[in-house]
Amino acid sequence: MLLRHDFYFQPISAAEDLILAKTATSPKKEALTKNGTGTRTKTTASKTGETNGDHDFALVELAKAEYAKRRKSQLDSIKTIDKKLLREMLYMMVLGRRFEEKCAEVYRMGKIGGFCHLYIGQEAIGVGSMMALKPTDMVITSYRDHVQAMIKGISPESVLAELYGKAGGCVKGKGGSMHMFSKEHEFYGGHGIVGGQIGVGTGMAYAAKYKQSGQVVLCFFGEAAVNQGIFHESLNMAQLWKLPCIYICENNQYGMGTSQERAMSTRNIAKKAEAFEMANEFVDGMDVMAVREATLRAIERARKDSSPTLLEIRAYRFMGHSMSDPGNYRTRDEIKKYQERDPVVLFKDSLKESKVLGDKDFEKIESEAVAAVDRAVKFADESPFPQKSELFTDVFA
């Protein structure tokens, strides 16, 4: 049996080749072999991997080696981008990380109630894709929305106050963690129903095309949402009507405590777009530059041809599904392995190696991010709770 780690950061075909090479010299491992017709078949030689938490990481090393080879591409693309933008991209990644760490801290202090889903480990996806947009472009996402709201321009103060349920929040404290929203910033939520935003995002792209506004839509969702009917219905319509929608599947390998391999018959989400003849791409979501470049290609398709794209961007959720996740479906070792490919560290290393930023710049970025988070905490602490009269405003029924 192939394990999800075996192919993690590579398109499945490349991973299969690596596994074939590896298993040829390792008879103990389960092998994916070619049969007489050249078709790949699985042979089962062990029970490893049949349950969550029982993993073989040997091939993650191969994935890392693959990245080491590809790393030059991150260094090369850094050279093509304005230093100011690179600095801003790193700042947003660091701000996202520090902000979410603070959320975990104040959640444990009881300052945030209800659900709270953190983005730690997935920062390169939000930053790489959203910072390739124009401010007028639209974004819609799932409940894992704090960092994406900030990247779209909503202030850390109003995001944290929203988490606190305070009047200074971007939806006056009435949405909470899962429902960040700002028409002004073209950020349309924050949705709690898994996959629900895929239909709404498709409608937004329809509206943009109908009004000839020139906007494109980034529609984010997790890999578990792909099993919902709305994903298939929406992609069909988007391709049929040629809508400027970029569907971003943030594949972090888990839907709550269920791994993708236990819930999906195929590992290859990007290729699902082919059922609709839609453009698609697999992207390493730990590499912010790879995310940016794939998104730019999709944006061009959307703006020039008004045509949609599905991007499967693979990363890993370093924290639990939400703050109340006991996390007993995976091991600490598994998490540690992926932390070796931490997207923030990776990007910093590349910037350093490219000599675009130096130690002083990193220190300054770090202290600016910490200061921004501290200001957000002060603002949220001091913001009042909403008036009772707010119960009857902004209500649609």
**Where along the sequence are the contacts to ligand TPP (CB under 6 A)?**
142, 144, 192-194, 221-225, 252, 254-256, 321
Pick 114 or 358: Cβ nearer ligand TPP: 114
Pick 254 or 347: Cβ nearer Mg ion: 254
Question: Whole-number minimum distance, CB 124 to ligand TPP, in Å?
Answer: 15
Pick 208 or 235: Cβ nearer ligand TPP: 235
Q: Which does 225 bind (CB under 5 to 8 A by kind): Mg ion, ligand TPP, none?
A: ligand TPP
Question: Whole-number minimum distance, CB 385 to ligand TPP, in Å?
Answer: 26
Q: Which does 146 bind (CB under 5 to 8 A by kind): ligand TPP, Mg ion, none?
A: none
Burial 204-223 (b: 16+ CB within 10 A, else e): bbbebbeeeeebbbbbbbbb
222 binds Mg ion (CB under 5 A): yes
Question: Whole-number minimum distance, CB 350 to Mg ion, in Å?
Answer: 26
Q: Which does 193 bind (CB under 5 to 8 A by kind): Mg ion, ligand TPP, none?
A: ligand TPP
Pick 156 or 255: Cβ nearer Mg ion: 255
Question: Whole-number minimum distance, CB 316 to ligand TPP, in Å?
Answer: 10
Which of 251, 253, 246, 250 shows the shortest CA–CA distance to 280? 246
Please report, as a single letter, which amino acid is at residue 175.
G
122 binds Mg ion (CB under 5 A): no
Count CA atoms within 13 Å of residue 387 on its CB side.
4
Q: Which does 337 bind (CB under 5 to 8 A by kind): ligand TPP, Mg ion, none?
A: none
Residues forming contacts to Mg ion in the complex (CB under 5 A) are 222-223, 252, 255
